[in-house]
Amino acid sequence: MNSSSSSLSSDSESFARGRHAIVAGAGGFIGGHLVKSLFERGYESVRAVDKKPFDQWYQFDERAQNLVMDLEKLDACHRACEGTTDVFNLAADMGGMGFIENNKALCMLSVLINTHMLIAAKDAGVERFFFSSSACVYNADKQRDTDVTALVEADAYPAMAEDGYGWEKLFSERMCRHFREDFGIETRVARFHNVYGPNGTWDGGREKAPAAMCRKVLEAQMSGILSIDIWGDGEQTRSFMYIDDCIEGIHRIHDGEFTEPINLGSSELVSINELVSVVEEIADVSVERSYDLSAPKGVRGRNSDNTLIQAVHGWEPGTSLAEGMRKTFQWIRGEMLQRDIDKVQPALPFPAAQDEQLEVFPGADERWRGLRESA
């Protein structure tokens, strides 16, 4: 059974009525989309928090109370959680495989965010807490073949997670469980599998494979040098979930009653070479492929088993790779063209953060207080 990711169920709208949400990591790719969807689903107010200054946010919604705060610090988490009913914690220091393989300590430090957010949520009387985990929690021994058996939730144990990033996510999953058991916070955990789509990272070293392949093919096409580099031999396999499906899944898991970690990913398995072929077809071009066997490449194969999410929520991500990549390609193409224009005529600067710890969008505090008082 499946349903459109863009549809807004009456149950979801009913759940959201009168609720006040915070999105931690709102300046990121998924967080920006989530803020917008919370308003669409009828949340009374949304507090959007990120460590990055506003001009580095991927999306900026003026309806939200937008704050620049470092959620590794407990006092910032207390401020962020004040007056909220629902926490969506997407905040983490992460990126694609090149980033997480070379920044293990930075990835591990994200444990401070979820730990402090849980403490602050408990102290603030938050009703429900959503944590974005990752397929990187899964045992590496189960991901050594390209023709991989899709990963079921139980495959996280015995534990052998992705070094650094995966271990932080697995530990934080346990923290959510124990805060639910010991303090009664309704925690929900989704294990994301490779999310992609518009308004995400596409260059700079933190981008994931779908965006990287779009950029590389576009650069080759624009330059006339029709060759690209691919990390590994290109036969490593993955599934990739389009952003609209991810947002729909977040709401279903958050709003539902299932409390254990659950996969949120597409079950459409492809190799990196097949991913490049999809982009070539969209771009109507053929490129020569050069393989860098020394580059970071992650596990050999990974796919999402969606048996549990189908059983619990009657749904699974349904956007095909071809459809999602076409939309992503067109967006990245537009961004690259705009970047070239900005080199000639720079865009007006976004107001810079005045305080390293806190920046509030003008009028946000007053609007937030008014919404709380009228609720």
Distance, CA of 304 to CA of 324 (rounded, Å): 17
In this structure, are residues 359 and 54 in contact, taking their beta carbons and an 8 Å threshold? yes
Q: Which two tokens stand for residue 306?
A: 């969606």
Element (H, E) at 263: strand 262-264
Question: What was the pLDDT predicted at 204?
Answer: 87
The CATH number of the domain where 139 resides is what?
3.40.50.720
Q: Which residue has the tokens 């107010």?
A: 45
Residue 4 lies in a domain: no
For residue 53, is pLDDT > 50?
yes
Over residues 38-46, mean pLDDT = 97
Over residues 216-231, mean pLDDT = 96
Residue 169 lies in a domain: yes
For residue 355, is pLDDT > 60?
no
Q: Which two tokens stand for residue 371?
A: 């919404």
In this structure, are residues 304 and 318 in contact, taking their beta carbons and an 8 Å threshold? no
Other C-beta atoms closer than 10 Å to the C-beta of 354 total: 10
Give the chain's mean pLDDT: 90
The DSSP code for 110 is T
Global pTM exceeds 0.85: yes
Distance, CA of 249 to CA of 306 (rounded, Å): 12
Over residues 340-365, mean pLDDT = 56
CA distances from residue 199 to 50, 67, 164 in whole angstroms, order as listed: 16, 20, 26
In the chain, how many H helices and how many E strands?
13, 13
Higher pLDDT among residues 74 and 355, named by residue:
74
Residue 35 lies in a domain: yes
Distance, CA of 254 to CA of 190 (rounded, Å): 9
Q: Residue 46: helix, strand or coil by DSSP?
A: strand
CA distances from residue 121 to 17, 116, 181 in whole angstroms, order as listed: 20, 8, 14
Q: Measure the CA angle with vertex 113, ends 112 and 119; round to 5°.
A: 85
Residue 148 forms beta bridges with which residues? Answer: none
Question: What was the pLDDT predicted at 7?
Answer: 46
Residues with catalytic function: 165
Question: Comparing C-alpha atoms, which of 352, 358, 361, 351 is closest to residue 63?
Answer: 361
Residue 5 lies in a domain: no
What's the total number of domains in the chain? Answer: 1
Domain range enclosing 175:
10-374
pLDDT class of 96 with cuts at 50, 70, 90: low
For residue 345, is pLDDT > 80?
no
In this structure, are residues 198 and 327 in contact, taking their beta carbons and an 8 Å threshold? yes
For residue 12, is pLDDT > 90?
no
Q: Which residue has the tokens 């790719």?
A: 29
Residue 249 lies in a domain: yes
What are the b/e assignments for 65-74, b being 16+ CB within 10 Å?
A: bbbbbbbbee
Question: Comparing C-alpha atoms, which of 13, 1, 43, 2 is closest to residue 245?
Answer: 2
At position 178, the amino acid (one-letter code) is H
pLDDT class of 315 with cuts at 50, 70, 90: very high
Question: What was the pLDDT predicted at 349?
Answer: 63
Question: What was the pLDDT predicted at 93?
Answer: 83
CA 51 to mean position of chain CA atoms: 15
Distance, CA of 161 to CA of 224 (rounded, Å): 41
Q: Which residue has the tokens 């096409």?
A: 221
In this structure, are residues 77 and 189 in contact, taking their beta carbons and an 8 Å threshold? no
Residue 1 lies in a domain: no
The DSSP code for 345 is S
